[in-house]
């Protein structure tokens, strides 16, 4: 684990995190810091970190006041590093690590009646992972009232379609785009998608 990240703010600010050596594209410290500066009130939030990798996004949320995080990650070598990071920060009691396919994991959480205030999606840039995950999030009913969904993607890839969600804003950080969505009010007839 030669590479590393740091927690950018909150109670664990400055602490180092391990990163898997292969098949990951960790969100940079600068992007995470900017993202969480815009998510101002995380106190007591229930968070779902999908395609979790090292767990840096979910750990950042916990550091900034979130109550709990469920991490979904398929790769065994990533979940090993993720568990190491949670252990080093004594976060096991506030977290759940689910190893397996992200879409199946979201659907299962929905069947269990779980709801989340913040959903963090950092899928592989290639393919339709983000679009499919957004569709399953809406269908599974895991979005709490007023929930926020954050998607990281490459600026070279189209904006994921998101029926049942409205785009709040989008920010570019070099090659990275961060899009924020909220559930559409069922009584709202229009798509309500705006870009700022």
User: What one-character DSSP code corresponds to residue 156?
Assistant: T
Q: How confident is the model at residue 40 (pLDDT cuts 50, 70, 90)?
A: confident
Res. 193: pLDDT tops 70: no
Which pLDDT does position 146 carry in this prediction? 93
**Mean pLDDT score, 21-26:** 70
Which pLDDT does position 155 carry in this prediction? 84
**Mean pLDDT score, 97-126:** 94
Reported in sequence order, the residue ranges of the chain that DSSP labels E, i.e. its strands, are 4-6, 16-18, 46-50, 68-73, 95-99, 116-121, 143-154, 165-173, 176-183
Res. 23: pLDDT tops 80: no
**Mean pLDDT score, 101-107:** 96
Q: What is the DSSP string of 15-61?
A: -EEE--SSS--PPPHHHHHHHHHH----TT-EEEEES-TT-HHHHHH
0.85 exceeded by pTM = yes
Res. 159: pLDDT tops 80: no
Which pLDDT does position 160 carry in this prediction? 72
Which pLDDT does position 171 carry in this prediction? 92
pLDDT tens track for 78-102? 999 999 999 999 999 999 999 999 9
Mean residue pLDDT of the chain comes to 88
Which pLDDT does position 124 carry in this prediction? 83
Res. 192: pLDDT tops 60: no
Q: How confident is the model at residue 187 (pLDDT cuts 50, 70, 90)?
A: low
Domains, the chain, with CATH or none: 4-183 (3.40.50.150)
Cα gap 50→135, rounded to integer Å: 13
If one compares 40 and 108, the residue with the highest pLDDT of the two is 108
Which pLDDT does position 161 carry in this prediction? 72
Res. 70: pLDDT tops 70: yes
């Amino acid at each position: 684990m030669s590479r590393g990240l740091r927690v950018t703010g909150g109670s664990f600010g400055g602490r180092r995190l391990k990163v898997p050596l292969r098949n990951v594209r960790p969100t940079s410290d600068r992007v995470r810091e900017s993202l969480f500066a815009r998510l101002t009130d995380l106190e007591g939030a229930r968070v779902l970190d999908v395609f979790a990798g090292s767990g840096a996004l979910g750990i950042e949320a916990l550091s900034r006041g979130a109550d709990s995080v469920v991490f979904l990650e398929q790769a065994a070598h990533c979940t090993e590093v993720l568990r190491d990071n949670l252990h080093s920060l004594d976060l096991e009691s506030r977290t759940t690590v689910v190893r397996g396919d992200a879409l199946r994991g979201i659907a299962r959480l929905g069947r269990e009646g779980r709801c989340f205030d913040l959903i963090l999606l950092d899928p592989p840039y290639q393919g339709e992972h983000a679009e499919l995950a957004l569709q399953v999030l809406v269908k599974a009913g895991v979005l709490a009232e007023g929930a926020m969904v954050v998607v990281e993607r490459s600026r070279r890839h189209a904006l994921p379609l998101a029926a049942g969600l409205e785009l709040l804003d989008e920010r570019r950080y070099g090659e990275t785009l961060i899009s924020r969505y909220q559930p559409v009010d069922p009584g709202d007839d229009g798509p309500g998608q705006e870009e700022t």
